[in-house]
Amino acid sequence: MKRKIDGNQSLKLSKNIKIVDYGFGNLASVKNAINFSGFEASLVNNPNDLKKTSHLILPGVGSFEAGVEKLKKDGWIKKIHEFVNKGGYLLGICLGMQLLFKKGTNERSGFNVEGIGLLEGICEKFTDTNTHNLPLPHIGFNKVTYKNSNIWKGIPQNSFFYFVHSYRVINTKTNDYKISMTNYGDDFVSFIEHNKIYGAQFHPEKSHTCGLKLLKNFCNLK
């Protein structure tokens, strides 16, 4: 006797969700959050193992330069571009979001470093924080003001998400991208959406109900 599969179960079975394991992300927390949301996700450390992947998550904690160098060394840059060009859904988290842009910043020299290059913009350290008496890194829950799209479905406007970062993205093509904002002394880009590319400066896997809902919405995209 065949087991009957309802519509929601069939949709989840059709997803192939993978998390890039390149040594710079909070992988267990992201994977557990995806599983808690009712989906299955697997870690992938070989860029040649993206066949049939529908949704790819690039987490990240650490420096832009070290992160992008590891991605280059392991052959991820080309494969991520190919994945996006074939219509896959991509979500960058924290450093993973920053790496999606064209340029980052060397922490010591301040010189620009080439990123993955999927989005226009530069990742730079927060400025003028001393004027506002705000410490770096920016740590804790903060409010996100978003532009409506499917990934924000069911999440109240101005919800709070968890941040840990000292760098932010600037000079984005605001007319082409859907950009969400957060204020930490100055307004900065806390979420970005362009076609099937998404980036969260915050950590949805650490952001309780709203973060789990956002991850579930991402996995539901089709």
Task: Give the residue numbers marked as catalytic.
Answer: 94, 203, 205
Measure the CA angle with vertex 71, ends 190 and 210; round to 5°. 30
Nearest to 31 by CA among 172, 167, 174, 204: 204
Nearest 5°: the CA angle 217, 189, 122 is 120
Distance between CA atoms of residues 112 and 114, nearest Å: 7
Strands (E), the chain: 17-20, 41-44, 55-58, 89-93, 101-105, 112-114, 119-125, 138-144, 159-165, 167-170, 178-184, 186-194, 197-200
- Token couple for 50: 């993206």
Task: Tell me the C-alpha distance between 203 and 214, whole Å.
Answer: 11
What the block records as the tokens of 164 is 């840990």
Q: Is 145 helix (H, G, I), strand (E, B) or coil?
A: strand
How many C-beta atoms lie closer than 10 Å to residue 38's C-beta? 13
